[in-house]
Every structure is written in structure tokens, then in C-alpha cells.
Amino acid sequence: MPIYGDEQRALQERFDTSNLAAAFEATIFSETIDDDNRTFIESRDFFFLSTVDADGWPTVSYKGGPVGLVRVVDERTIEFPSYDGNGMYLSMGNIDANAKIGVLFIDMETPRRLRLQATATIIDDQATLAHWPGAQLVVRATVAQTFPNCARYIHQHERRSTSQYVPDDDGTQPTPAWKRIDMIQPFLPTAQQDLAEEAGGTITGAEYTERLANGTS
């Protein structure tokens, strides 16, 4: 796929980076995932997903889960799960509307980052879903290109713990506090309206705000 358009080339010429950009185009861009990048991708437990809706508006989402959240099926294909969220299905709906996605993998400790662009589809067959307990859908994407980015502006962070909400091996996870808010209850999917009582009862919006402030949401 073309790497640069007229707009990028104009800026490269303006800032005298045309030769540098051409060198990168010839060396760091790839249409496949090599063994080193495969290892890096499959060692991640989060990534950022960029999608575009039917009107051309982009959105970027943080996606977190267990280590191995993204599976490299082969050198041109990746898969990753979509877990229970806020019910809006922005990313999944965007993939249905416009299959092109961008994926950013970051190691905040080393640091390191890798970009990936691909064409995606949504899968919900049981055999594929079984690979990720708790997943509602799975995204399968065909890679168009991968390329590493300079990591000098990545602020180093130390990983502390895995989110308690990552589904376990049986696909179960705790009920998030926002689903226990009394005003939210009538709007939850029918199957989830009893979860608040099982988790300790409903809470008010003010109680939820207090939980957020205390980091217990």
C-alpha cells in the first residue's frame, strides 16, 4: 500500500526530511509480521485500536486483557477479542462500517512501540470465541503494513497489576461498579439487571463518584 501521499511529501520537503522518509519507507515498513514482532505483539496485555465510522470520524480505544490479548495467526493475520464494555460497540460497529483499522502496541517499561494497519472483520463462531474466554466477539485482521516507531517520547511506567475485570479461564469477571448505579439499572441488558444485587446491591451516582476518587470502581 502507498506509504506517503501528497500532503506527507509536501511536509517532508518543507522540513527537509524527504531523504529520511524515503529511507524509512525502504527499510522499516513491512507487509508481514516477522518473528521478533510476533513475540512482541503476543507479549502485550493491552493495545490501542483506531477505527473509523461510516462518516469518516475516527475513534481510538484502549483494549486491555490477559498477556497474549492479540494472537498472531500467521505472518499476515492477527486476532483479538472484544469483551463486555459499555454497550455502545463503537469500535466493533466501526469495523462493520469501515474495515480499515490501526493498532498501536506499546511497552511502557522498555520502552518500545509498533504500529500495524490492517483490514478487519468480526467473527463470532464458537470455535474462535473459545480461544478467548469471556469474549463476545473476535476481530480477525489482515495486515497491510507494520512499522516500528521511535520510542523516545514514551514516558516510562512500571506495570503494577492486571485488572481484576479481565475474564478468568471460565470467562467470568466481576460486575463493574457503574453497572450497579441505580439509575443505570433499567437500561442494562435484561440478563445483567440482576448482577447488581449479586455484587452487593445498587449504588447511587454519588457513591460511584466516590469510588472513582478512591480508585475502587
Read off the C-alpha cell for 177.
Answer: 461498579
Q: Taking Cα atoms as reference points, which of 16, 27, 97, 92 lies closest to residue 61?
A: 92
Q: Which domains are present in the chain? A: 1-28 (no CATH), 31-149 (2.30.110.10), 177-214 (no CATH)
Q: What is the pTM of this model?
A: 0.92
Give the rounded percent of residues in the chain with a pLDDT score beyond 70.
100
In whole angstroms, give the CA distance from residue 71 to residue 69: 7
Identify the residue whose cell numbers are 503494513: 145
User: Could you report the per-residue pLDDT of 65-86, keeping only the tens digit for each?
Assistant: 999 999 999 999 999 999 999 9
- Whether the CA torsion 193, 199, 200, 204 is positive or negative: it is negative
C-alpha pair distances (Å), 10 with each of 3, 21, 152: 14, 12, 25
DSSP state of 190: G
Mean pLDDT, the chain, whole residue set: 94
Written as one letter, the residue type at 175 is: T
Alpha-carbon distance of 170 to 172, in angstroms, equals 6
Within a 13 Å sphere around the CA of 19, how many CA atoms are in the beta-carbon half? 1
Q: What is the mean pLDDT of residues 48-55?
A: 97
